[in-house]
Amino acid sequence: MTSPLKTVHFVSLGCPKNRVDTEVMVGVAEGAGLELVGDAEAADVVVINTCGFIGEAKKESIDTILEVADMRDSGRGRMQKLVVAGCLSQRYADELAKEIPEVDHFMGSSDMLKLGAVLAGSKDKILVGNPAEWVYHKSNPRVLSQARHFAYVKIAEGCNRSCSFCVIPDMRGKQRSRSIDDVVSEVESLVAQGVVEVNLISQDTIAYGRDLPGSGGDEAAKGKKLAELVEAVAEVKGVRWVRLFYLYPETIDPRLIELLGQHPRVVPYVDMPLQHAADAMLKRMKRGHGIDRQKRAVERLRKGVPDLTFRTAFIVGHPGETEAEFDELVDFVKWAEFERMAAFRYSDEESCQSFNLADKVPAKTAAARYRKLMKTQKSIAHKKSKALIGRELEVLVEGTSDEHEYVQMARTRGQAPEVDGQVYLEGPEVEDARPGEIRRVVVTQAADYDLVGELLPRTDDERRSVEIRARIKKPRITLPVIGDISGR
């Protein structure tokens, strides 16, 4: 019997790790013969992959679910199935099923492949499994959802940390690393599709491989597996940029620093969420270290990685945070002069250890601290951007701006996709710029986070690259995506 389901629409909320999960479900739907559509009203099935990390993310997810459910209730569109997947379902499946009966199926953070059963007619409403049983594998039917020139690659699932403010171990389980061979095989497949920038992600990237056989647990072994993986990925033919996200501030293998500083295809970019800078706060947060270790990590990276772009994240308003401790954080940010920084107001999640701590910080106080911290960072970012004027930089051409159809965009090695600024391209060469090619620009203007650069003529190697990329298929669908608000 032919299935009545012909079309499917996806919405992916949350972090890049969630994006990869969504792309696996896109692959499942495509394998089931459904056509992907960019408009929910044109879809027989709508799949919402949710985030449930903090209050803001939960609200965004619930609002999206209700909006799509209302579309069907009001008679708009053709939707026959509404599927909610991801971390919010993993945490609250029973409650959501009771409160939002319009949802036909709930799947958790490890249940991407179960979408096949849903599309085949499964009657089960709740399909939430054990996240510890899932590890991404190269054989998963993943379909890239946006630009074909960059991709996120998950190198592990889960996390073994016990940070007081975090629910990820509950939602994603303990650390499970993929093998280096499996990651490299996936990267080779992505390169064949046109990917030139590989962004390595996980919940705790610095801990990659410690759970694999033969990894050892001594201090000297920490980080060695990650360095091996980074080098192996960077050596895949066709890879131009390799970028690291979500490093924990602990012992960094000298080989990894060497790769960041010297390997031509490992970009000098580190994403390391530090969360705070006062010893007492780091202890309350159960981060397992103090400010001295964080300063050493910053100093080692600055010394060993020329032209380093350091991205970090902090939480303000965690229970017990005093004004003096917040001032220590501001002083630390001024000292470190991070190129990129995100800040988040503490979210009091009932399943976090911090939920039971006393001395809650009032919301107004947390908001004021957030504004002060971001103002401090803005002046630092402005100074860093201004210093780039006149420099010649390598950029990855992104294509036409979403906001201005006649403006071409690009990113430098110091600008990660979706979370950092852009380079607005100018000059006579711009008309011939192709998305996915790596070119050089001279920076002519700078704002707090964005740059303007004059595009330079192509080299012979760049011309050959364009000819190759012209034979690669364009993406078939663009997903609406909410930026990473986890601050991991």
pLDDT digits (tens, 9 = 90+) for 1-27: 456 889 999 999 888 888 999 999 999
Homologous superfamily in CATH for domain 150-386: tm_1862 like domain (3.80.30.20)
Q: CA–CA separation, 453 vs 118, rounded Å? A: 48
> Contact, 437 vs 465, CB < 8 A?
yes
Average pLDDT over every residue of 33-47: 92
pTM of the model: 0.87
What backbone phi and psi angles, to 5 degrees, belong to 311? -110, 135
Quickly state the pLDDT bin for 265 (edges 50, 70, 90).
very high
> Contact, 164 vs 190, CB < 8 A?
no
Q: State what percent of residues in the chain have pLDDT above 70.
A: 91
Read off the pLDDT of residues 444-469 as tens digits, 9 standing for 90 and up. 999 888 899 999 988 766 555 555 44
Q: CA–CA separation, 210 vs 224, rounded Å? A: 9
Quickly state the pLDDT bin for 233 (edges 50, 70, 90).
very high
Average pLDDT over every residue of 406-423: 90
Q: Please name the CATH architecture into which domain 7-133 falls.
A: 3-Layer(aba) Sandwich (3.40)
Read off the pLDDT of residues 473-486 as tens digits, 9 standing for 90 and up. 443 434 443 334 33
> Contact, 258 vs 304, CB < 8 A?
yes
Which range scores top for mean pLDDT: 46-55, 70-79, 97-106? 97-106
pLDDT value, residue 160: 82
Say if residue 170's pLDDT is above 50: yes
Quickly state the pLDDT bin for 431 (edges 50, 70, 90).
confident
Measured in whole angstroms, how far is the alpha carbon of residue 442 from the centre of its chain?
A: 28
pLDDT value, residue 326: 97
Quickly state the pLDDT bin for 162 (edges 50, 70, 90).
confident
Say if residue 361's pLDDT is above 60: yes
Is the dihedral angle over the CA atoms 214, 220, 222, 224 positive or is it negative?
negative
List the strands of the sheet with 340-345, edge to edge.
150-154, 197-201, 241-244, 266-271, 309-316, 340-345
Domain assignments of the chain as residue spans, ordered by start: 7-133, 150-386, 392-469
Which CATH fold topology does 392-469 show? OB fold (Dihydrolipoamide Acetyltransferase, E2P) (2.40.50)
**Token couple for 304:** 């060993």
